[in-house]
Each structure stands twice: as structure tokens, then as C-alpha cells.
């Protein structure tokens, strides 16, 4: 190792192990190998970067000795000399962050100094206390974290592009839900800010359409089961359970000749019969009119 050379100097250990992924990426753009382990050094007043890592004691070598050991050095063009910014608020430089600075500030300080988003009020949902469903944009569904995150997405206002991810959801209590979400915002210069927030959603007690119809004895179809009593009993229990996934059974009438199930939706009735591969005969009876269209009640007779 020749430390007496006029041009030799100790290689500065510039942010070696702590160089940020952003700086590494910017360096690697000029690397023939695409290496992200390149490090900036200075030799003779000009910037260089080297590729690879020959050993743990490189910083003790002179430039000439390191080169003699096989370290590959390449000159950085002057117009891409990389300098690290320091945040005027917290004092940290770019090496401490994976995200780029936004202007003069680090991503954390920029996000804390400026209101990046707001959530429009009120946060209210109609809630059926009988079945536990909530009304989302006209559709009654059981509330879950994903559905609440989608609902809150429509309430977020921001000048930056954003996405909303569900984090957690409490059980309904005192006509309220606590929904926790994470909002990711795309800031200028390619930086991203992530903010978690918990919001209270007020539940407005009411009755959903299905529960209201069920309590009023509404039905669109009758499934008549006829034949063997044991088979009728098994099919009645199975049909009631399957109908419950799509609609409701407002009444079960036990007769001498069999069982009649009054179903809230004729579509649900036909779907269940089709899934069970039960043959039936159908009769339609005019029940009234709605918006100028005839309404029919359908009767499906199934012989077991």
C-alpha cells in the first residue's frame, strides 16, 4: 500500500452503510451494471463512484491502493454530482428516508406542516337493527372493514392522488362504528405520505327493505312441497337456509298435503330450486300493477 503518493489520500467513507435507497437508485442509473451498492467518493477534487465491495477495510485504503486491489472506479459527470439535502425543520438529511424530499422538507415534516386531506362530514349510515345490515349507496350490506374503507374513500378530499386501505373496524355500539383506515398520498417529486386515522360513523336506526317486507308478510312466490313427509321435512329446512342467503321466508304453512313456504323474492325461489335440481310445475297469479307493469305471484309445486 503506497500512502506516500502525491495524489493518494484516504478514501472518504461517505454515507457508506447508511446511504439511502433513493441516493443509491440515483447513482445506479449511471452504473454499467445497474449496481445499487455504488458509493460516491472524491479523489483529486472530482467525484467518482465505485462498484462492488471488496472487503470490510476499504475505507482504510488509498485510492491508488484500492484500485490496485481491483476496485472498479468510474468518474461521475459533473452535472450529476449528487448532494444530500438537509431538512430545515428536523435537520435530517436524505440518507434517513426512503422517500424523496418534497421541496426543502423531508416527507415527514412536509406532511406534519400541511393538511394533506380532509374527510367530509357527516359520516352517517342507515342501519337495520333487526338484521344488522347498513345501507351503502342504496344497497343493504353487512358492514365490514373493506366496505367502510370504500365508503370513506368517497368522503376524502385532497389535492393529491390518494388510496384508502382498511385497517380495522369496531362492532356497532351505541349506534356508532369506529373505522380505522390508512390513506396513502402521492406527493410532489415522487414522495409518498401515509396517514392512519380513525373516524366515527353514526348509525341511523331504521328497517331495511327485506326486514320491513318480512314483518309485513310480503311474498312474491310460494314453494309447495308435496310427497313423503320425511323428505318434505329435510327439504323445508334446507330451502329455508338457502333462501336466507338471498331473500327471506315470511311464512311456513304446514298442511295435510305438505308444506307451503312463502318467499320474499321469486328470483331467490327459482335460484334455490335450480341449485337443488328440483323439478317443479309453475302457476302465476296476477297480484297487481307497479309503474304500469303487471305483478305476479308465482307458485312452484315440487313433488318429492
- Could you tell me if residue 271 is left (phi over 0), alpha (psi between -120 and 50 degrees) or otherwise beta? alpha
* 54 φ/ψ angles, rounded to the nearest 5 degrees: -75, -15
How many Å is the Cα radius of gyration of the chain?
35
Per-residue pLDDT of 77-111, as tens digits, reads 444 444 567 788 887 876 677 677 777 788 778 87
According to the model, what pLDDT value does residue 67 have?
58
Half-sphere CA count of 79, side-chain side, radius 13 A:
0
According to the model, what pLDDT value does residue 287 have?
83
Do residues 152 and 163 touch, judged by C-beta distance below 8 A?
A: no
Residue 162 pLDDT more than 80?
Answer: yes
- Could you tell me if residue 237 is left (phi over 0), alpha (psi between -120 and 50 degrees) or otherwise beta? alpha
Q: Which of 54-58, 202-206, 268-272 has the lowest mean pLDDT?
A: 54-58
Do residues 233 and 255 touch, judged by C-beta distance below 8 A?
A: no
SS3 243: helix
According to the model, what pLDDT value does residue 290 have?
77
* Burial class of 112 by CB neighbour count within 10 A (0 to 12, 13 to 18, 19+): middle
According to the model, what pLDDT value does residue 54 have?
42
Task: Determine the average pLDDT of the residues in 58-82.
Answer: 49
Residue 294 pLDDT more than 90?
Answer: no
Beta strands in the chain (DSSP E): 39-43, 46-51, 72-75, 118-119, 124-128, 134-136, 139-141, 156-157, 162-169, 176-186, 192-206, 221-226, 249-255, 258-263, 281-290, 293-303
pTM of the entire structure?
0.56
Task: Measure the CA–CA gap between 162 and 160, rounded to whole angstroms.
Answer: 6
According to the model, what pLDDT value does residue 245 have?
80
- The runs of H, that is alpha helices, within 155-260 are 209-215, 229-243
Residue 9 pLDDT more than 90?
Answer: no
* Burial class of 87 by CB neighbour count within 10 A (0 to 12, 13 to 18, 19+): buried
Question: Beta strand 39-43 with 46-51: parallel, antiparallel or unpaired?
Answer: antiparallel
pLDDT band at 19 (very low <50, low <70, confident <90, very high): very low
Amino acid at each position: 500500500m503506497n500512502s506516500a503518493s502525491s495524489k493518494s489520500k484516504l478514501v472518504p467513507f461517505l454515507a457508506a452503510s447508511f446511504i439511502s435507497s433513493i441516493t443509491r437508485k440515483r447513482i445506479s442509473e449511471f452504473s454499467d451494471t445497474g449496481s445499487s451498492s455504488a458509493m460516491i467518493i472524491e479523489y483529486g477534487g472530482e467525484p467518482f463512484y465505485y462498484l462492488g465491495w471488496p472487503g470490510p477495510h476499504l475505507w482504510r485504503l488509498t485510492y491508488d491502493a484500492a484500485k490496485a486491489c481491483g476496485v472498479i472506479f468510474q468518474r461521475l459527470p459533473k452535472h450529476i454530482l449528487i448532494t444530500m439535502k438537509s431538512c430545515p425543520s428536523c435537520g435530517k438529511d436524505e440518507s434517513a428516508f426512503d422517500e424523496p424530499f418534497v421541496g426543502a422538507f423531508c416527507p415527514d415534516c412536509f406532511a406534519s406542516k400541511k393538511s394533506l386531506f380532509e374527510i367530509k362530514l357527516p359520516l352517517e349510515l342507515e342501519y337495520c337493527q333487526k338484521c344488522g345490515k347498513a345501507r351503502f349507496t342504496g344497497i343493504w350490506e353487512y358492514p365490514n372493514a373493506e366496505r367502510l374503507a370504500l365508503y370513506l374513500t368517497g368522503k376524502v378530499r385532497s389535492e393529491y392522488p390518494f388510496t384508502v386501505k382498511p385497517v380495522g373496524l369496531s362492532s356497532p355500539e351505541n349506534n356508532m362504528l369506529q373505522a380505522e383506515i390508512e390513506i396513502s398520498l402521492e406527493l410532489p417529486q415522487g414522495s409518498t405520505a401515509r396517514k392512519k386515522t380513525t373516524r366515527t360513523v353514526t348509525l341511523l336506526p331504521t328497517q331495511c327493505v327485506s326486514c320491513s317486507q318480512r314483518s309485513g308478510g310480503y311474498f312474491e312466490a310460494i314453494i309447495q312441497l308435496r310427497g313423503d313427509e320425511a323428505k318434505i321435512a329435510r327439504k323445508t329446512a334446507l330451502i329455508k337456509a338457502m333462501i336466507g342467503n338471498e331473500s327471506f321466508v315470511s311464512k311456513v304453512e304446514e298442511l295435510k298435503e305438505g308444506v307451503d313456504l312463502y318467499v320474499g323474492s321469486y328470483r331467490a325461489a327459482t335460484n334455490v330450486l335450480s341449485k337443488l335440481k328440483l323439478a317443479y310445475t309453475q302457476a302465476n297469479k296476477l297480484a297487481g300493477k307497479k309503474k304500469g307493469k303487471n305483478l305476479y305471484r308465482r307458485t312452484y309445486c315440487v313433488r318429492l
